[in-house]
Chain A
Amino acid sequence: LIELAPATDSKEIIDGSKGLRARKILDFENYGALPQKQAKRRDLAREIRSLINQKFPEFVRWQKSGLSGLSGFWLDKAGRSQLWLEKITRVQ
């Protein structure tokens, strides 16, 4: 997930007043930028599900889906891969 949505996608995360550089943390590749838009998070979830299916077929065979057991990932009623919340306003 961090590789697919790297922190370097966000100027605020890298160079903001509370960003990584301000904290003297310079290994940016170890951090991610979770998209604000649900559609983008859904795209990421779909891509990760596809990667899991390719790389861990034995695991997937015995699960409801490749996302089973992955914290923060889930399937909606239509069977689409989802990542984290549908609406961020619930926590902000």
Chain B
Amino acid sequence: MMLIPYRTQDGLVQACQIRFMCRRLSSHSVRYVWLSTPKKSGDVSCGSPLHFAAYKAFSIDKPTLVTEGALKAETAQIFNKDFNVLASAGVACSHEEITARVSRIPLVLIAFDTDYYENHYVARAMAKLLNLILASNEADFYNRIKILTWNRKYKGIDDALLKGIPINSQSLSEWYQSLAEKCQKEVGQFLHKGVFTMV
């Protein structure tokens, strides 16, 4: 079982995830869990913090890539040394924390797993995050957010980078158009319609 630290912008470990290294997991089991036992530890939980890859080089002047999972973030950082890379535990986690971190960043690159093309729950979670980021910033912020995409055969950006698959950047409008119809409906409920006409 791998112990994966989640580090603050100052490099302090604020939580650890455990990755089960077995090849196959039984049904209903998960690959990652937090090193946390709130029921046994007097309700002390680690929460779901963000991870800052290469925290020493973090700067608000650099583009920031947002992904899910500390390991993905570390691999993405290795391939993109000029970017800040931060990770939440999943696409539905830590939206307010991400928004607070990227609000003054010149370019925000969203690079979550490609499930959002077909899975409307994932699409909804991503739309909620995008909506929160857009709502927290000036009107022109939509031009500073790009969605990174790659061949859907590769789920995570780390898989794509490690296999040398080209990574593309889409505007919010282009990304929306690329989604399955049921996912577009979900996204449309959360993102302001104007986003798709202004871009």
Binds A, one of B42-50, B60-68, B96-104, B188-196: B42-50
Shortest B14–chain A CB gap in Å is 9
Q: How far is the CB of A39 from chain B (nearest CB, A)?
A: 15
Assess A91 versus B46: contact at CB under 8 Å? Given A2-B3, A10-B2, A23-B71: no
Query: Are the CB atoms of A34 and B3 closer together than 8 Å?
Result: yes
A contact face: mostly helix, strand, loop, or mixed: loop
| A49 CB, nearest partner CB in chain B, Å | 13
Q: Give residues of chain A (1-57) contacting chain B, Cβ–Cβ below 8 Å.
A: 1-2, 5, 7, 10, 12-13, 16-20, 22-25, 30-36
Instruction: Compute the total of residue contacts between A and B using a CB distance below 8 Å.
Output: 97
A68 → B minimal CB distance (Å): 7
B25 close to A (CB within 8 Å): yes
Q: List A residues at the B interface (Cβ < 8 Å).
A: 1-2, 5, 7, 10, 12-13, 16-20, 22-25, 30-36, 64, 67-74, 82, 84-85, 88, 91-92
